[in-house]
Structure 1
Amino acid sequence: MSGPDDEARRVLIDAPADLLLDRLAAELDRAYGITGAELLQIDYRLSALLPFTKGDPITSPGHPAWRCFDHQQPVVADGTGYFPVSMRGERRGVLRLVPVRDDPALVGELAGIATALAHELDAVTASTDLYRTARRTRRLTLAAEIQWELLPGRSRSRPSFSLAGQLEPAYAVRGDSFDWSDDGHRLWLAVINGMGEGVAASMLTSLAVHALRNARRAGLALADQAALADQAIYAQHRGDQHVSALLIELDLASGALTVVDAGSPRMVLLRGGQITEQPLEQQFPLGMFDGTDYRPQAFQLSREDRLFVVSDGVIEATGQNVRYGESALDRFLRRTGPMSPLDAVRSLLGDLRAFVAGDLIDDAVVVCLDWLGPQP
């Protein structure tokens, strides 16, 4: 026999894209006596939880909604329940429900419904602008709109790895981006920095991302993926524009890491609380010359190793005529060990914004990857 949580999931599946929350709220009222339901979406900057229908943004780190988002656990406080709206590691926000009893069975059912909501949001987002629009504290630039549409998400997790990335300045990013994919056996990651400004930079990065995806989906080896993207960009721009990129392939069973450095960002390893920069063989950026022959490098990860990939916009961020620099970066990265990858990325970029006392001027991308070891 199906329960009220199963009926709520069915309602979500059948609801029109624009009425997900309305239909869910009506079903929760009928089945559980919950009279208030609100979706709090995380904004592009990872700094505010924004109500979908009405209310003020939630920015205070001590708020129960933020505790729920940060720890990815339900929180019940003063008769109000907060439930993670997340799927496969991608955190979309928090479902706020009232009234909710602090009863483990009830909380478990409602948490499952919040996860179902995350899946339905993922399914309908391509067909409506409602949820994207409600995630913004201000208008995105056109270049930033293009960049955010390219991304595979901001976080991803499986038993063998956890991964997160973020772009800054979130509402005006131009040429920095990242991409990833996994097939259960291997994980591919690309971190990209296209030269130029505004829409021109985002269009160049878009070409690079799609060329790399095309090569990856054709089953090409990592160095050949770089070569195909190099040819695509050179054919379009004849060397006048190019893209710096770091391409990574991780064997999820063994921790064997293959890397191609094409004028890439910095790659840093956090192992046992110690930071070491990985020695990369710098090769020509994608599209700089015709027919560049790229060579892969091999590294070996240990269980629970953490990799950071950061662009030059992080190290060169300047506040009061002082660069953030590699020393400050290393000190901060050491402190991220207990954090999840998304929290580590968000904390680093928050520290950067505090350092420059506002939004970053230059693009910055940060990606954090944990290899958790082989899993059954």
Structure 2
Amino acid sequence: MEYDPRHRAILRLLQLTHLARGDDVAGCVSEALAPLDLAATCYLVDEEQQRLHPLPGGSLPTGEPISVDGTVAGRAFMLVRAQRGDGSRLWLPLVDGTERLGVVELAWGPKAVDPDSLPGWAQDFVNLAGHLIAVKLPYGDTLHQTRRTRPMTVAAELLLGMLPPLTFTCDRLVVSGLLQPSYDVGGDGFDYALDGSTARFHVLDAMGRGLKAAVMAVTALAAIRSARRDGHGLHTMARAADEALREQFGQAGFATAVLAELDLDNGRLRYLNAGHPPPLLLRGQHAVRELDGGRRLPLGIDSDIPHLGQEQLEPSDRLLLYTDGVIEARDPDGDLFGVERLTDIAEQAAQSQLPAPETLRMLSRRVLDFQHGPARDDATLLLVDWIPSPTRRAVPPSS
């Protein structure tokens, strides 16, 4: 069977990566594109989501890492949309599904076939490359090393290895999370699961800092996940975390948390708040209220079973969950970042129609800028969009 040259490039990439290591994928991309007179270099974003770092094996010359802010490459990453560069250059978002990994720089020579129609097909090709990079990520360390600008603590290594991908999108929901500081996170964590018409998502903050706090957070997350996978509801998930924390830490360990579930068919939200800052509901690009129902004591402490908090969401509503490290961040004068400032920035992001992961990146940067330096406490954000067509803000357009 005779294939179109562009179809052959996709098949060639699949063939080349069957036995490839993670650090080989960028070279496989270059080799598959070469017969089309196309050259490419893949870039991965670092853990801080501040700079894009080239992978070895690209067929275009590279220099220093590229800033996400203020560059064409960064704009492709932030907006999850292809951007034209200088001359015969195109920057394409590199994603695994909707998880942002970086960008690909693409250039075409005089023998390239129909450059005007290139962006749509090229995005399909790059989407495949992003998926292949994500598949290879667990099997080696080179790709992880490319994304790190400094050593990671044992606590952060333990906790980050427990978390799901930062962003996931289905036909009716976008969920996106972010933890800072990337290399020294201790007791914060989040989890989510989407099955059928139900989305479940959780944010927690274990007491203390360092490795002990990370072990506490991982214990609570694992207990919640285990109960959830056994088919239990929010009360039983919380009870499972209570028991696991008491068994391992006695009276010396607890974690605040929000455990929630959303019916994607009708927008009914049910939630339990174990001593945690209340989620923020955004509607019509404005903050409507804090969700302060379903209160109980923190996980790990005996507590009466509360009535679950309930809220009826409307299409396009957003839920912002966060830990106290966000609102308790302080500037050099000792002033708190606070809920009001968080609300204002979240409203600005909604009005700008930024994708969920870019909204969290912007919020995180504003917290860091407010502190004028590294975070003094873990700061975790989880954003949930219940919208009719979420893919318009999370998936790069293709052919």
1:1-376 alignment runs, 5 A limit: 1-2=2-3, 3-17=7-21, 18-29=23-34, 31-35=35-39, 37-53=40-56, 55-59=63-67, 61-77=69-85, 78-99=87-108, 103-275=115-287, 276-289=289-302, 293-319=305-331, 320-337=333-350, 338-373=353-388
Distance 1:370 1:60, change over 3 A: closer
- Structure 2 CA distance, aligned partners of 1:195 and 1:55? 43
Distance 1:171 1:122, change over 3 A: same
Distance 1:134 1:292, change over 3 A: farther
Name the % identity: 28
The farther-off stretch of 302-311 and 162-171 is: 162-171
Distance 1:266 1:47, change over 3 A: farther
- Structure 2 CA distance, aligned partners of 1:153 and 1:6? 25
Secondary structure class of the residue paired with 1:6: helix
Asked whether the 8 Å contact 2:50–2:69 carries over to 1, the reply is: no
Aligned residue pair count: 372
Measured against aligned partners, the alpha-carbon deviations of 1:270-322 in whole angstroms (never above 9, x if no partner) come to 11233111122321111123x75354222110000011011111111000211
Asked whether the 8 Å contact 1:253–1:373 carries over to 2, the reply is: no
Partner of 2:59: none
Measured against aligned partners, the alpha-carbon deviations of 1:169-194 in whole angstroms (never above 9, x if no partner) come to 12211111111111131111010101
- Structure 2 CA distance, aligned partners of 1:60 and 1:124? 24
- Structure 2 CA distance, aligned partners of 1:44 and 1:182? 25
Amino acid in structure 2 at the alignment position of 1:303: P
Asked whether the 8 Å contact 2:293–2:308 carries over to 1, the reply is: no
Asked whether the 8 Å contact 1:180–1:189 carries over to 2, the reply is: yes
Per-residue deviation, 1:97: 2.2
Q: CA RMSD in A?
A: 1.9
The list of structure 1 runs, each at least 4 consecutive aligned residues, that deviate by more than 6 angstroms after superposition, is none
- Structure 2 CA distance, aligned partners of 1:114 and 1:21? 11
Distance 1:206 1:292, change over 3 A: farther
- Structure 2 CA distance, aligned partners of 1:97 and 1:12? 19
TM-score under structure 1 length normalisation: 0.94
Asked whether the 8 Å contact 1:40–1:93 carries over to 2, the reply is: yes
Per-residue deviation, 1:103: 2.6
Unaligned 5+ segments in structure 1 are: none
